[in-house]
Amino acid sequence: MQTFTQYVAGSNIDTSLKQLLHTLVNTSKEISKAVSHGALAGVLGETEQQNVQGETQKKLDIITNDMLKNALDNDLTVKGIASEEEDYVVAANENGQYLVCFDPLDGSSNIDINSLVGTIFSVLPATEDELTEASFLQKGCNQVAAGYVLYGPSTMLALTTGNGVQMFTLHPETNEFMLTEAQVAIPVDTKEFAINMSNQRFWQPAMQTYINDLIKGDTGVRQKNFNMRWIAAMVGDVHRVLSRGGIFTYPADTKNPKKPFKLRLMYEANPMALLVEQSGGLASTGYENILDIQPQEIHQRVAVILGSSNEVETCLNYHAL
């Protein structure tokens, strides 16, 4: 069983990208420790601050953001960062080759109940001499690496550099990530779906009809029974899809007309879409491939439908009617 260090050393990944991946992975180990200490370290609970999305920040949101921000600032391969917890892009090193977008602690509403949370990251090439927000506004297909670290019963890393998806598990004694799945493959069919049902009355008609048909099971047009799963953390729900298939969606809704979408394109939808597509699945907004979207700003939100290819195609057929 290879360690992460051995895997990266034996790969054809660019040397500078190898360095950056080590920075991200080593920082995730420190985040894993901070998360696991929980109330013992006084890191639970909310602050009086809000991020640019107007969401109240948890203590661990700020702590993990600072951990990643500081580590990436000290990595000479990084030119700049964009984070869910930062209003604007942050410059790092003038001659860095990469831009890093991240959600430092996805699912932070789960922190205080000791449920799943994780770190999501996306790596883009730095193609311009001067760092501006526009430097980051690249399509998801430009990503040179993407992944997440899931902090659960085991701390797990899912990573792609464009050659499939590898899964690693953090060894609790050696503190090394070990390669536990060399090529993740999402089953093309599924009987599981993940969606926030509390928003059902606000969805578009296409999603209303699709989910209603799933719920009818073998008595409806789908003629098979489905189970619903919902972790309330994208990182956990997507991990389930990578592990055993399924469809995950956070569709557009009319609950707040000013914010019809929930998930952020640059540091949630794009990296997860690349992981899913590299595992044989599909990722769409319902109307276009997520990785083909031209971003307009770093905190842009989009609808997300991703997972097992046949089920995503079926969902998209409802949207095409």
In angstroms, the Cα distances linking 254 to 194, 203, 251, 258, 321 are: 19, 7, 10, 9, 20
The b/e string for 262-295 (b: 16+ C-beta within 10 A; e otherwise) is: bbbbbbbbbbbbbbbbbbbbbbbbbeeebbebeb
Is 213 known to sit in a ligand binding site? no
Query: Using N-to-C axis directions, what is the helix angle for 309-320 and 205-216, rounded to 10°?
Result: 130
Is 103 known to sit in a ligand binding site? yes
Is 262 known to sit in a ligand binding site? yes
Q: Which three-class secondary structure state does DSSP give residue 168?
A: strand
Q: Is the dihedral of CA 294, 195, 244, 169 positive or negative?
A: positive
Is 85 known to sit in a ligand binding site? no
Is 268 known to sit in a ligand binding site? yes
CA nearest neighbour of 136 among 96, 184, 196: 96
Token output for 291: 């990785």
SS3 content of the chain, % helix, strand, coil (to 5): 40, 25, 35
Is 105 known to sit in a ligand binding site? yes
Question: Which value, to the nearest 10 degrees, does the dihedral of the CA atoms of residues 162, 72, 137, 159 take?
Answer: 20
Is 75 known to sit in a ligand binding site? no
Backbone angles phi, psi at 180, to 5 degrees: -115, -10
Distance between CA 42 and CA 22 in Å, rounded? 28
Is 84 known to sit in a ligand binding site? yes
Is 265 known to sit in a ligand binding site? no
State the binding site for substrate: 106-109, 196, 262
List the binding residues for Mg(2+): 84, 103, 105-106, 268
Feature table: binding site: 84, 103, 105-109, 196, 262, 268
